[in-house]
Amino acid sequence: MYRRSVLLYACLTVLFVGVTGPPVFAIKPNTFEPVAVVELFTSEGCSSCPPADRLLGEIEADARASQRRIFPLAFHVDYWNSLGWNDPFSSSESSERQRAYGRTMGLESIYTPQMIVNGTDQFVGHRAVEAEASITRALSQRVPVKISLEVQRRSESEWDVVYETMNASEDLVLNVALVQRETHQDVAAGENMGRRLPHFNVVRFFKTVPIGSGSLTLVVPRDVVSENLTVIGYVQNQVSMRIEGAIEGKVNP
């Protein structure tokens, strides 16, 4: 259970922070069930990140067991790759997403591991007590937007997603993430050299689209079986970064 305490290590890295569509319905605040979207910014090159990765896995397991509307996501950043190990799950897009949070929150720097709940509450990513408190707060507040997300497996390499957002205002966008539920990686260099690291809910493909209704195609990585994948969609304010609704897509054969 993720409520147990986690040892705190400080990561050495310090990095300076540097499609809208028409509304579907008039906004009606606090209409739908609460959600907690938990974004972890992490890296295999960071020795302080494995405890945060494990914590995210515990949060995910707790969510499935309790059926609470918690949606964990692991974004692997690429700014650790210069220290001898290229994280195979890392991307510049994940790093830029974290920088966007840093700018919005007025942070002097970004770091790993960093956990952000519902786009507005941030803390060191392996602090279990803070994670529990933040998730509890998020689940006490209803959200204004409802999302419908249907996923069809077109082929082994592509999934089609049909989406609709209800009660969304024009300052919102929909993020759609293709997520690998669980994987392990042997690290051959860098700060975690010689370790076999577990990962949970790793974002493998990410796209932001206008709110409303529409469809998009997700590219499925060749190194993962479809049974180990899911799709998570969440609506986010482009200015405040606050998350206003979320859902796990129904995946059809």
| Model confidence pLDDT, tens digit, residues 167-217 | 988 899 999 999 999 999 999 999 999 999 999 999 999 999 999 999 999
Tens of pLDDT, residues 9-42: 334 333 333 333 444 444 456 689 999 999 999 9
Task: Note the pLDDT of residue 4.
Answer: 45
Percent of the chain whose pLDDT exceeds 70: 88
- Return the sign of the alpha-carbon dihedral for residues 52, 58, 60, 63: negative
149 vs 170 pLDDT, higher one = 149
- Return the sign of the alpha-carbon dihedral for residues 127, 129, 132, 138: negative
> Which among 189, 190, 173 has a CA at the least distance from the CA of 112?
190
The pLDDT of residue 52 is above 70: yes
Q: How far apart are CA 58 and CA 217, in angstroms?
A: 30
16 vs 146 pLDDT, higher one = 146
Task: Note the pLDDT of residue 179.
Answer: 97
Query: Which residue ranges make up each domain of the chain?
Result: 23-252
Task: Note the pLDDT of residue 23.
Answer: 42
- Return the sign of the alpha-carbon dihedral for residues 169, 67, 181, 222: negative
The pLDDT of residue 156 is above 80: yes
Confidence label for 253 from pLDDT (cuts 50, 70 and 90): confident
Token couple for 246:
């979320």
Token couple for 239:
């200015």
Q: Do β-strands 121-124 and 172-186 pair in parallel, antiparallel, or remain unpaired?
A: unpaired
The pLDDT of residue 146 is above 80: yes
Percent of the chain whose pLDDT exceeds 90: 79
Task: Note the pLDDT of residue 30.
Answer: 66
226 vs 199 pLDDT, higher one = 199
> Which among 124, 148, 186, 123 has a CA at the least distance from the CA of 24?
148
Q: How far apart are CA 48 and CA 191, in angstroms?
A: 9
Overall fold of domain 23-252: Immunoglobulin-like (2.60.40)
User: What is the mean pLDDT of the segment spanning 220-241?
Assistant: 93
Task: Note the pLDDT of residue 25.
Answer: 40
Q: How far apart are CA 150 and CA 7, in angstroms?
A: 40
> Which among 177, 173, 156 has a CA at the least distance from the CA of 165?
173
Q: What is the mean pLDDT of the chain?
A: 89
